[in-house]
Chains A and B, each alone.
Chain A
Amino acid sequence: MTLSTSIHGITFKNPIIAASGTFGFGEEYNELYDVSCLGGISSKGLTLHPKDGNEGIRVYETPAGMMNSVGLQNPGIEAFIEHGIADMRKFDTVLIANMGGHSMDDYITGATMLSKADIDMLELNISCPNVKSGGMAFGIKAEVAREVVSAVRKVCTKPLIVKLSPNAENIIEMALACEEAGADALSLVNTFQAMAIDIHRRKPIFNNIYAGLSGAAIRPIALRMVHSVCKQVHVPVIGIGGIYTPEDILAFMMAGATAVQIGTVNFNNPLAGKELVENLEKLCVQEGIQDINEIIGII
């Protein structure tokens, strides 16, 4: 029985990747279990310069999920290259550097720096909903995304994943534009822009007013988006969105995903990564799946 999949020449021992922003750089969860059991880890979202992130409430429970507005707090790409990578390399798993940006120049400079560093893949976040300037803007309009992905592609020597926002005007046009601009893979979806209000204080919960919704609540919509994108693009797709169980993983893979990312579930169960790897194998045996690649895109 094989769980191993590959994306643009990079082999994942299983299709389970820790999603950016939920897993730090792996160190904290490694105190609870050996994170080398995961197929990959996508780093905390990096920006060219260090960022403090947003003020006020950053995480908030919602029905069947949660909202977050962390705002890309991170040490900056330089610090990541100097210290973070060596720490992440202690884990025997695919190392994906996730990078966000505020401007075209930021993306190009950051991608140039990370291309020279010891990472396996670059995941370009053109879709963070929690950063006021930039970020989201690149993730909304396909033509804007095409420009930034083309520019990054020119300088990026690592396999390039582009992470898409479900808030895009048209997710299929967005996916096609990124593929044409040179993305080696797509990951989707990032969080849905959402809102919560404290009626007693008569104020939004989040200082930024809007924040990103994740968890089971978004799963069926994410699955539909993954499916519809997979029908149109030729590059591998990484499915993301409220994946909690091994059954969810198989559903996203049947819809066309080559691998998946798990985020919110880590908060519900800090051992989720390890348990999903173990239980996915059991489920595949039960379902008579010899090689998990057999089921990719069967629907």
Chain B
Amino acid sequence: MEYFDSIVLAQFQLTDEIFVLTVERKGASAAAGQFFMLKCWDKELTLMRPISIFKADEDMLSFMYRVVGEGTRKLAELKAGDTISLLGALGTGYPIGEMHGKVALVGGGLGIPPLCQTAKELSQQGVQVDVYLGYRDQLFATEDFEPHCQSIFISTETGSEGYKGFITDLLKPEQYDAVFTCGPEVMMRKVAAMCAEKQTACWCSMEHRMACGIGACLGCSIRTTEGMKRVCKDGPVFPSKIIF
């Protein structure tokens, strides 16, 4: 974990609200499921913003995020060459090293981007990856999964692409050694319940408002069956059995 300034390499707008920001990695650590705290302001805003890793290449880090408020709006205004401050990589990601056989990744909405780096790291160690991506209407990041996955299943709520309905309708947990999920809580809860029923191990990635990002302020604590846990430090990835 380090706090450092970096340079913006690129910013792409994918949809009305979704952007991809790419910055120089500057030797920072980064693993699937981890996140960084970002800021491109001095004191105009108080808190840094937690954004998960979309892609970590040798020299660069990419973040895919939705503009939801003032902080992300400022991030979206960044252009190549601008300076940005990063704190990270933070948190506990997916247990990639423990995986073998066949793993399903189930993402919904802005829970999809962090699974891209996850698919890459799993495939690099020889795990067979199937990915299930649930969108509301417009697709994004789908093609980024192609190099790392055996099969890609897609659903949209509107039926504009792929299966019309929820992505969980397509998932068969019994076909996998483990399932990793990231997205809306209602989706992850469903995935966790389906996995529990079929006795497939499941990990989920939680989202929370954060202040420090490093485990000091307890601003992001959530209740689990093992007591209070910090999303920023003990998570964001947790075994789903302790959460749901």
Contacts and interface: CB of A to CB of B under 8 A. Distances in A.
18 contacts: A21-B217, A22-B212, A22-B217, A24-B218, A28-B212, A28-B214, A32-B3, A52-B227, A52-B228, A58-B220, A59-B209, A59-B210, A61-B47, A61-B71, A68-B219, A70-B218, A267-B217, A270-B87
Interface in B1-43: 1-3, 39, 43
A270 B90 CA distance: 13
- Counting chain B residues whose Cβ lies within 8 A of the other chain, the interface size class is 20 to 34
Interface in B153-212: 209-212
A205 to B, nearest CB: 10
B216 interface: yes
Interface in A11-68: 21-24, 27-29, 31-32, 44, 52-53, 55, 57-62, 64-66, 68
A265 to B, nearest CB: 8
A216 interface: yes
Contacts, number: 95
Contact of B47 (A32, A44, A268): A268
B46 interface: yes
Interface string A153-187: 00000000000000000000000000000000000
B214 A64 contact: no
Interface in B59-102: 70-71, 87
Contact of A65 (B46, B48, B220): B46
B55 interface: no
Contacts of B212: 22, 28, 266-267, 270
B218 A44 contact: yes
Interface in A122-140: none
A4 interface: no
A271 interface: yes
B215 interface: yes
A175 to B, nearest CB: 28
Contacts of A62: 46
Contacts of A53: 218, 221, 228
Given A28-B212, A64-B46, A268-B47, A59 B220 contact: yes
A61 B46 contact: yes
A55 B43 CA distance: 28
A191 interface: no
Given A28-B212, A73-B221, 13 more contacts: A23-B217, A24-B215, A24-B216, A52-B221, A57-B209, A61-B47, A65-B46, A66-B47, A70-B221, A73-B228, A264-B46, A270-B214, A271-B3
Contacts of A68: 211, 217, 219
A156 to B, nearest CB: 26
Q: Which among A57, A60, A267 has the highest number of chain B CB atoms within 10 Å?
A: A267
B223 A55 contact: yes
Contacts of A271: 3
Contacts of A21: 217-218
B45 interface: yes
Interface in A228-285: 244, 264, 266-271
B216 A28 contact: yes
A267 B221 contact: no
Interface string A67-95: 01010010000000000000000000000
B120 interface: no
B219 to A, nearest CB: 4
Nearest to A66: B46
Q: Which among B1, B3, B214, B217 has the highest number of chain A CB atoms within 10 Å?
A: B217
B214 A59 contact: no
A55 B46 CA distance: 23
Sort A-B residue pairs by CB-CB distance and give the 6 closest, nearest first.
A59-B219, A24-B216, A28-B216, A59-B211, A28-B214, A267-B211
A253 B89 CA distance: 37
Q: Which among B39, B71, B212 has the highest number of chain A CB atoms within 10 Å?
A: B212
Contacts of A29: 214, 216
A73 B222 CA distance: 11
Given A32-B3, A73-B221, A60 B48 contact: no
A58 B3 CA distance: 24
A215 to B, nearest CB: 5
A113 B128 CA distance: 56
